[in-house]
Structure 1
Amino acid sequence: MLKTEKPILGLDIGGTNIKAGVLVVSDLVDIRTISTPSRESQESILETIADLISSYVHHDFFAIGIGIPGLIDTDNGVVLNLENIPSFRRVHLREFLETRFAKPVYINNDANCFALGEYKFGEAQVYQHVVGITLGTGLGAGIIVNGHLYCGFNCAAGEWCSAPYLDQDFEFYCSSKFFHSKFNAKAKSLSKKAARGDKMALEAYKEYGHHLGELIKNILYTLAPQAIVLGGSIRKAYPFFKESMEANIATFKYPSISANLKILISDLDETAIHGAVALVDEYAVPVDTVSNPS
């Protein structure tokens, strides 16, 4: 639940697409997707973003939240890098947009936005300690501690993707890279085969679930969250890796932690935009602006 009912514009800027939408009261409206001009200059990309935002001014939004898959200097609103967009290095995005629109702008890593969005809008809002994990082309994670987003320095907290695991790292074994490298197939196609009872596909997801269980145990040792929310495209295959994942989690050394852990599957339709909007609510709206019953 947000602390304000004022309209908020949310953007999810990725290497392929830029998505946007406005939260009005509790509903996302006017959701749009445009292609990211990822091979163009930094100036051209900035103008593309500004043009998209300009098309929303009739909504009279009071602030802008942006999720980006990269490292962010949140204190200064500088994008240090953006995955899959070569020209987006040390971009003073907040300064550019605040000068253009005279609205406050809040920027963070997209996985952090996912976790915050799930905490503000999803089933995770009943917990105070949450980790959100995005399972897709890559692996991302965001952390909620005591009901607030924890980013670390330059939004680098929760980068379990790069932590060494077996002969690679956790991203290799817990993203679509695993299926492509080990089974020469896409996660989605294997999911369809698993639904038909294909033994190889079922075995692939069983092995995947074991690796994801190892990642979750590492998270439990580090943070001991009450809940973990799974997002990203691979979450849709959850029934095929649930059992092996849970079997591995059950070997965690401290059962009082693992036995009480809740594994949630994201059901938000526009998680990325929800997360960007939630970012504004986290940082822009002071608690004392909320009206209390007399």
Structure 2
Amino acid sequence: MYYLGIDVGGSHITLDLVDTQTFELRPQSTLRTALDTHLAPSAVLAVFEQAIRACAAQVAPGAVRGVGLAIPGPFDYPAGICRITPHQNKYEQCFGVNFRQALGHALGTPARPVVFNNDAACFALGEYFRGGAQGFSRPVVVTLGTGFGASFLNEGRPQTCGDNVPPDGELWHVPFRDGIADDYFSTRWLTGEWQRLTGTPVAGGKELAHLALSGHADARRIFRGFGENLAEFVAPWLARFRADAFVIGGNLARDWELFVPALQAGLAARLADGIAVKPCELGEQAPIYGAALALTLVDPASVTPAPLPADFAGFDALLAQVTAQRRVRLDGPADAPWRDVTDALDRALRAAGSRTVWYAAGAARGTGGLDPDALSNIRPDAQADRCVVTGCGAAQVPWPDAATLTLGA
């Protein structure tokens, strides 16, 4: 039996199969598929579905127990709902799209468990299960490259809230000096410092590392400063979390000898009990491992639909109403069995040969209720057979040509 892990990148997705018993990757099962994130939701979801089927086809039918995705945010990970807005230059048309509903049936019926996690958290989970964070109970795992990713693991579970971790369990947005951490702990800080000190540009971090390894004093000074700054920034969080390891990955980890000695010295001066500083070991395989093995951390029943309640009345009439429309706003009480109703409708529509893109009105919900601007980001897919937005408040989604139905009416 296998778990199927997916690492979702900016221009492609990478899939692989992980053995449920040994936690080893299945030999030669890696699949890489191009993905244009600017496409309409139906086209984006079709790429995922086809790739999942192709990867699973390498083993016996029914041998894949579930699918895990390492996917960038903003994303409602527990619900499987995309919250990436049209202004973020990726998945512009996917705000509110119910990815879990679409992908749960990629391997047929009944639906398989599908879990979503932040890509940095999946990287950390992969290292926890199989890499540099193995054997530690409270590691903090970071990736250093074009951006600054981080995850705080507590006995193998990402911790995203509480007084001992930053908001959402991420460090990139935490203030540091005259900016945020991402300004300082990424390639652009290194190249910016080179420009500031020398007045000349450098192509990237790799080129700067080559200069440092060749003995260039300014380049070595910049990397040393990078390590000193990183120690100053992370030490309070490591102490607050009571971390027992600081595990470093990403492209800049290849330049270990240039900045880690300064980092270790800075941490030793600030942490009385010391801390293990370790390199990541899995590289690009880490998020696939983490995405797949995150399935072991959830109750399958919590991420798969159930049959409709025995007392649920009017399903056939509701199905007929939805079938008659191309765009539907399905509103109703917040405590309605939305996941199960959505799945029952979706299965019936699929059986009739119709492909529906499902949206969740709740994607637009903030602390003060449904946000009008966010509601306007829920945009119907003109290429889909049918678009349905569900949930309490769905009637407020600005689809003027949509039929408005009420669950239980």
TM tier, shorter chain?
A: 0.7 to 0.9
Superposed structure 1 runs of 4+ greater than 6 Å apart = none
Structure 2 residue aligned with 1:142, among 113, 136, 151?
Answer: 151
Q: Deviations over 1:194-251 (max 9, x none)?
A: 2222222211211111121123213224312001111111111111001221222233
How far off is 1:118 after superposition?
Answer: 1.1
In the alignment, what sits opposite 1:95? Answer: 101
SS of corresponding position for 2:33? strand
Instruction: Write the distance in 1 (CA, Å) between the matches of 2:9 and 2:138.
Output: 27
How far off is 1:122 after superposition?
Answer: 1.4
Tell whether the 8 Å contact from 2:82 to 2:97 is kept in structure 1 after alignment: yes
SS of corresponding position for 2:151? strand
Aligned partner letter, 1:266 = C
TM-score (norm. length: structure 1): 0.86
Q: Deviations over 1:91-116 (max 9, x none)?
A: 31111111343211010101111111
Structure 2 residue aligned with 1:268, among 270, 282, 287?
Answer: 282
How far off is 1:34 after superposition?
Answer: 2.3
Instruction: Write the distance in 1 (CA, Å) between the matches of 2:188 and 2:96.
Output: 28
Instruction: Write the distance in 1 (CA, Å) between the matches of 2:79 and 2:37.
Output: 23
- Bigger drift between 269-278 and 224-233 goes to 269-278
Q: Which has the higher helix share?
A: 1
Q: Are 1:111 and 2:120 an aligned pair?
A: yes
Larger radius of gyration: 2
Structure 2 residue aligned with 1:282, among 280, 294, 297?
Answer: 297
In the alignment, what sits opposite 2:227? Answer: 209
How far off is 1:15 after superposition?
Answer: 1.4
Tell whether the 8 Å contact from 2:15 to 2:55 is kept in structure 1 after alignment: no
TM-score (norm. length: structure 2): 0.63
Structure 1 residue aligned with 2:23, among 19, 23, 26?
Answer: 26
In the alignment, what sits opposite 2:263? Answer: 245
Q: Are 1:161 and 2:172 an aligned pair?
A: yes
In the alignment, what sits opposite 1:131? Answer: 140
Instruction: Write the distance in 1 (CA, Å) between the matches of 2:116 and 2:291.
Output: 8
Tell whether the 8 Å contact from 2:144 to 2:253 is kept in structure 1 after alignment: yes
Instruction: Write the distance in 2 (CA, Å) between the matches of 1:230 and 1:167.
Output: 24
Tell whether the 8 Å contact from 2:138 to 2:243 is kept in structure 1 after alignment: yes
Count of aligned pairs between the two proteins: 276
Instruction: Write the distance in 2 (CA, Å) between the matches of 1:179 and 1:191.
Output: 10
How far off is 1:178 after superposition?
Answer: 0.8
Q: Deviations over 1:145-197 (max 9, x none)?
A: 134332349x9622211111111111110111212322243111112222222
Tell whether the 8 Å contact from 2:31 to 2:55 is kept in structure 1 after alignment: no
Tell whether the 8 Å contact from 1:7 to 1:62 is kept in structure 2 after alignment: yes
SS of corresponding position for 2:168? coil
Tell whether the 8 Å contact from 2:125 to 2:286 is kept in structure 1 after alignment: no
Aligned partner letter, 1:67 = A
How far off is 1:11 after superposition?
Answer: 0.2
Tell whether the 8 Å contact from 1:171 to 1:177 is kept in structure 2 after alignment: no
Instruction: Write the distance in 1 (CA, Å) between the matches of 2:42 and 2:160.
Output: 28
How far off is 1:142 after superposition?
Answer: 1.0
Instruction: Write the distance in 1 (CA, Å) between the matches of 2:299 and 2:249.
Output: 25
Aligned partner letter, 2:151 = G
In the alignment, what sits opposite 1:291? Answer: none
Tell whether the 8 Å contact from 1:142 to 1:157 is kept in structure 2 after alignment: no
In the alignment, what sits opposite 2:38? Answer: 39
Unaligned 5+ runs, structure 1: 1-5, 287-294
Q: Deviations over 1:45-83 (max 9, x none)?
A: 111111111102222311101001213323312122286
Q: Are 1:75 and 2:78 an aligned pair?
A: yes
How far off is 1:84 after superposition?
Answer: 4.5
Matches within 5 A, 1:49-64: 49-58=48-57, 59=59, 60-64=63-67
Matches within 5 A, 1:193-232: 193-232=211-250
Aligned partner letter, 2:251 = S
How far off is 1:135 after superposition?
Answer: 0.8
Aligned Cα root-mean-square deviation (Å): 2.2
SS of corresponding position for 1:141? strand
Instruction: Write the distance in 2 (CA, Å) between the matches of 1:67 and 1:156.
Output: 19
Unaligned 5+ runs, structure 2: 195-200, 302-409
Aligned partner letter, 1:199 = A
- Bigger drift between 180-189 and 53-62 goes to 180-189
Aligned partner letter, 1:283 = V
Instruction: Write the distance in 2 (CA, Å) between the matches of 1:180 and 1:69.
Output: 25
Structure 2 residue aligned with 1:7, among 2, 5, 11?
Answer: 2
Change (3 A) 1:284 1:8: farther
Tell whether the 8 Å contact from 1:112 to 1:151 is kept in structure 2 after alignment: no
Change (3 A) 1:174 1:68: same
Instruction: Write the distance in 1 (CA, Å) between the matches of 2:148 and 2:94.
Output: 21
In the alignment, what sits opposite 2:398? Answer: none
